[in-house]
């Protein structure tokens, strides 16, 4: 019985040469966060209908969904998830035979990639040679040596002047955000901030009224390439202040901040509303 329709469908599909791979991929970062929430069973029921209808009509969204399934599986195997999310993956995401099978395949693939690594170095932060590497390379060429030396002197002088006259420490731009419903289609637009390169954010999160008075809080930053627990610098009855480095907000794009509260009895509960943020 399974695949019965599929076989007929494929036949029809081949006859007509339809192909969904040519679909235009316009997937916003907030969609990725929503897919993740759905996969971990944390998307509010009210939002599920629209989400699932999109799965039934948008092939690019379906493909993105599958990609995120793979990424969660890999993150689980690589132990890259915060404790509460890891627990969620174990209890919810991996509870079907299909996902277990994916987990086995992914485990095998990651082991193979690791054993194939050989002498490959962990990639450097920047793949391009640094300025000083370029200068050193030039110095190895005798006819460039004098010119390069002069250039180095000029640059060192410039840098020294710059360091003396400018505060070069990383700056943290202040930002206040309130939580919004995860129904992004109807909810308010995310807080947008233009962040100069190298600068981070100092964010004041207003705690939703019904989440106040908890014993403790956990703040998680979620983005396409980040899933990170943030350290709470300051806490008042109504706000939490966290610092986010420039590195955590790279690449620029949409991020969500989630709050988990610890009740007096020690149990944890995720606050349903999220803080949405767009970094430009």
Would you say 228 or 235 has its CB closer to other proteins? 228
**Using CB under 8 A, which of 9, 174, 198, 213 touches other proteins?**
9
CA angle centred on 193, ends 190 and 196, rounded to 5°: 155
Would you say 101 or 236 has its CB closer to other proteins? 101
**Using CB under 8 A, which of 1, 164, 185, 189 touches other proteins?**
1
Instruction: Tell me the C-alpha distance between 10 and 18, whole Å.
Output: 10
Would you say 80 or 138 has its CB closer to other proteins? 80
Give the per-residue contact string, 19-38, with other proteins (x = CB under 8 A; - = no).
xxx---x------------x
Does residue number 84 form part of the binding site for other proteins (CB under 8 A)?
Answer: no
Would you say 81 or 175 has its CB closer to other proteins? 81
Query: Beta partners for 191?
Result: 277
Does residue number 197 form part of the binding site for other proteins (CB under 8 A)?
Answer: no
Instruction: Tell me the C-alpha distance between 68 and 227, whole Å.
Output: 13
**Using CB under 8 A, which of 131, 132, 161, 225 touches other proteins?**
225
Considering only residues 108 to 147 of the shown chain, the ones binding other proteins according to CB under 8 A are 108-110, 112-114, 116-117, 120, 122-125, 127
Does residue number 269 form part of the binding site for other proteins (CB under 8 A)?
Answer: no
Would you say 117 or 194 has its CB closer to other proteins? 117
């Amino acid at each position: 019985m399974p695949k019965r329709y599929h076989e007929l469908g494929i036949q029809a599909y081949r006859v007509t040469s339809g192909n969904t791979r040519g679909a235009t991929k316009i997937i916003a970062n907030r969609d990725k966060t929503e897919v993740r929430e759905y996969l971990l069973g944390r998307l509010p029921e009210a939002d599920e209908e629209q989400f699932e209808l999109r799965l039934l009509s948008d092939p690019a969204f379906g493909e993105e969904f599958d990609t995120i399934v793979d990424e969660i599986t890999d993150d689980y195997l690589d132990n890259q998830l915060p404790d509460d999310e890891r627990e969620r993956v174990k209890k919810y995401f991996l509870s079907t035979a299909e996902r277990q099978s994916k987990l086995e395949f992914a485990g095998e693939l990651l082991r193979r990639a690791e054993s194939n690594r050989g002498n490959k170095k962990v990639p450097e932060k920047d793949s391009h040679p640094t300025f000083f590497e370029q200068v050193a390379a030039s110095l190895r060429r005798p006819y460039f040596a004098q010119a390069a030396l002069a250039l180095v002197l000029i640059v060192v002088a410039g840098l020294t002047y710059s360091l003396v006259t400018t505060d070069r420490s990383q700056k943290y731009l202040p930002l206040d955000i309130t939580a919004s419903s995860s129904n992004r289609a109807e909810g308010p637009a995310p807080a947008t901030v233009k962040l100069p390169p190298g600068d981070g954010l100092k964010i004041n999160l207003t705690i939703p009224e019904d989440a106040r008075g908890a014993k403790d809080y956990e703040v998680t930053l979620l983005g396409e390439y980040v899933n990170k627990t943030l350290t709470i610098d300051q806490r008042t009855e109504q706000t939490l202040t966290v610092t986010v480095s420039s590195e955590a907000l790279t690449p620029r794009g949409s991020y969500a901040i989630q709050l988990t509260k610890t009740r007096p009895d020690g149990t944890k509960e995720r606050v349903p509303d999220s803080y949405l943020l767009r970094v430009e």
